[in-house]
Amino acid sequence: FTRSRYTSTLALLAAISRIMLLATAATALSVRMSAAPAPASASASSTSGAADAPLLLRAARGEVTESTPVWMMRQAGRHMQVYRDLVKDYPTFRERSEIPDVSYAVSMQPRDAYGTDGVILFSDILTPLPAMGVDFAISEGGGITIDPIRTREAFAKMTAVPFEPETKISFVGDVLKRLRATLAGTDATVLGFVGLPFTLGTYLIEGATGTKTGFAAMRQLRESDPQLVADMLKLLGDRIAQYAIYQIDSGAQVVQVFDSWAGHLTPDEFDEWAAPFQRQVVGAIKAARPDTPVIIYMAPDTHSKEGALITKLAASGANVVSVDHTLPISAARELLDEAGYESVGLQGNLDPAILAEGSEEEIVAAAQDILKKMAGRPHIMNLGHGIEPTTPEPSANLFVKTVQEWRN
């Protein structure tokens, strides 16, 4: 009898326990459901996401924004005293760009000082090369040193190495993740960047910055072994696209692609040695991450000044063309519109010399002139080239504040 009552009591307690567990689960489910937003249509959800996106990201997607977002190429670096102070503790560029805590701190310096709308990863277009089997060195003066690749045998050291950015250059992803976490919920956009195949190829073949020789080694190899050059650029295209996607997956909301030295090519040479590989990289990014805007930039050079190749940049498939300072931005807009690229946005294009040497009045007037010319069209304010190391910090701050106070 005692054993029977004991067994019955255990059964009753077990039943009560099950009921309490079910009640708790139901309560938790109810709380989760009440906290969750009501289901919405795809279009409504998309509209809400777009409205919540930061200003620069919306402009890069082609939206005419209520005010113009602004950042500066090379904004993190030598023009800032806080950066120069940091150089004392981390004397090489590769230390500053490859130690995650340092790269993160440098990336954030312009945001902290000026409130820029874009925060770009502090790195270099050569950063992924060691993960491809090619080491490099950068002097404090900016000189590049690489063992040149000019033979099929030398190229084999690249093809023999699998490209795994997530393991071999994981510091890039670490910094982007931290930037994205820090800036979540703010009005800032995180930018990543990569170099495009032709420009990277010049470094590999020249073993240095090719401007010193007029890209003589690159030109000679294109003539003597065009298939080797094409194979090299194709491999770079595959891997750079992979690297850009890695940056996006790590936190980059916009990616800028640089073909800095492609402007020394004639139009016909550009069509053969730059354009196909630009399309390769941009197309691969778009296929894998279609919602991530791409900005393309090429420095003004022998054949690219005054917008001579700007429509070819627009043909890459990029969302935005970053315009150099050798032509008015209104002329750039007209050239793209006439060529059928009305939907391609523009970035730029204050002359860096004005920012470095101009008076307050000159900086404000030049910035406002660009803003007026781009009224009613998608636009990201920037410089026509990287900021000069001699630029006074108050001038950079004035430029950013002038743009941010303007209303479209």
Alpha carbon distance 329, 368 (integer Å): 12
Q: Which tokens in the block code for residue 25?
A: 């689960």
Pull the structure tokens for residue 250: 């790590």
124: nearest Cα among 102, 97, 100: 97
Instruction: Give the C-alpha distances (Å, rounded to integers) separating 366 from 5, 345, 352, 354.
Output: 93, 20, 11, 8
- Could you read off the pLDDT tens digit of each residue along the chain, which spans 408 residues? 333 333 343 344 344 443 343 343 333 333 333 333 332 322 222 333 455 899 999 999 999 999 999 999 999 999 999 999 999 999 999 999 999 999 999 999 999 999 999 999 999 999 999 999 999 999 888 889 999 999 999 999 999 989 999 999 999 999 999 999 999 999 999 999 999 999 999 999 999 998 888 999 999 999 999 999 999 999 999 999 999 999 999 999 999 999 999 999 999 999 999 999 999 999 999 999 999 999 999 999 999 999 999 999 999 999 999 999 999 999 999 999 999 999 999 999 999 999 999 999 999 999 999 999 999 999 999 999 999 999 999 999 999 999 999 987
CA angle 81, 87, 89 (to 5 degrees): 125
**Pairwise CA distance, residues 174 & 189, whole Å:** 17
Q: Are residues 361 and 49 in contact, defined by beta-carbon separation less than 8 angstroms?
A: no
Residue 196 near residue 258 (C-beta atoms within 8 A): yes
Alpha helices in 213-266 (DSSP H): 216-224, 226-250
Q: Which amino acid is at 66?
A: E
Single-letter amino acid, residue 370: I
> Which residue is it, tokens 């950015």?
165
Written as six digits, the tokens of 115 are 């409130």
Q: What is the 3-state secondary structure (H, E, C) of 165-188?
A: HHHHCHHHHHHHHHHHHHHCCCCC
The type of residue at 346 is L
Quote the tokens at residue 295: 């900005």
How high is the pLDDT of residue 3?
Answer: 35
The predicted pLDDT at position 28 comes to: 34
Residue with token string 């939206």:
63
Q: Which amino acid is at 138?
A: I
Contacts 24+ apart (CB under 8 A), 201-204: 201/229, 201/232, 201/233, 201/236, 202/261, 203/126, 203/129, 203/136, 203/144, 203/146, 204/129, 204/134, 204/146, 204/148, 204/149, 204/232, 204/236
Burial 187-219 (b: 16+ CB within 10 A, else e): ebbbbbbbbbbbbbbbbbbbbbbbeeeebebbb
Where do the DSSP E strands lie in 129-217?
137-138, 144-145, 189-195
Q: How far is CA 145 from CA 159, 229, 273, in A?
A: 21, 20, 23
pLDDT of residue 6: 35
Task: Note the pLDDT of residue 94.
Answer: 96
Report yes or no: 328 and 371 within 8 Å, Cβ to Cβ. no
Instruction: Report the alpha-carbon distance of residue 49 to residue 44 in Å, rounded.
Output: 9
| pLDDT at residue 50, rounded to an integer | 53
Whether 270 contacts 308, CB under 8 Å: no
In the chain, the N- to C-terminal Cα span, in Å, equals 88
